[in-house]
Copies of this chain bind each other. A is one copy, B any other.
Amino acid sequence: MQDPFTDDVPPEPHSTPAAVRPISGRRARNKTATRESIVSAALELFESKGFEATTTREIAMKAGVAEGTVFNYFETKDDIALHFFEAEVDHAIATVRADPTLKGAALEEKLFALVHSQIEYLAPYESFIGAAFVRALRPSSKLALSPRALELRARYLDFVQDLIEESLPKRRARQLGWIAPQAFWIYYLGVLLYWLHDSSPAKQNTLAFLDRSLRFGTAFLREGGI
């Protein structure tokens, strides 16, 4: 059976010659339909009862599939919640890219917009995203090292790297290399933790912290002594 965890087109089968394999319609449609019904069933249940209280049996029942099927699409229950986390990263990158007012803006403004967009997107899922998200940080977690997660992280780091290169002198950017995006990744995780625990109205504390620390951090990038 083809690995259902990747939506990638399978590697060109050696037996099929020239004609592009159509990868027949019904299969693919059923597959994405099943996947979506699992995701939306999980979302409803997570939101109404929370992550821990939702069982995979319930998700399967609500989605109209067998319990085993759920695990054909997601390796673990955590993985289901992480689906929303992935969507968040892609959404935030697209948002920042698409915003014309950010074109010539300072680096800290772009980064603020990026992180702000991320936590805004996650807000509706706050009640359950932390459970899975934080678990994925464990070194022992297979999630953090799964091809999917690595690819997601790479996309994010690439984007941050792009933002830095847009705003910094070439020399300085090259000097910083990969350290800056990596540090930013850690920083982002810290902000998320802060956000998850932040009980101030409208998450003011997180936003204030974001603003101050970013202004300071970008100053560091520009002139700081790395």
Contacts and interface: CB of A to CB of B under 8 A. Distances in A.
A102 B137 CA distance: 34
Majority secondary structure, A binding face: helix
Q: How large is the interface on A (under 10, 10 to 19, 20 to 34, 35 or more residues)?
A: 20 to 34
Given A137-B134, A224-B216, A186 B196 contact: no
A216 B212 contact: no
A32 to B, nearest CB: 31
Contacts of A137: 134, 137, 193
B140 A50 contact: yes
A73 interface: no
A140 B131 CA distance: 7
Interface in A210-226: 212, 215-216, 220, 224-226
A139 B197 contact: yes
Contact of A138 (B134, B139, B189, B194): B134
A130 B137 CA distance: 9
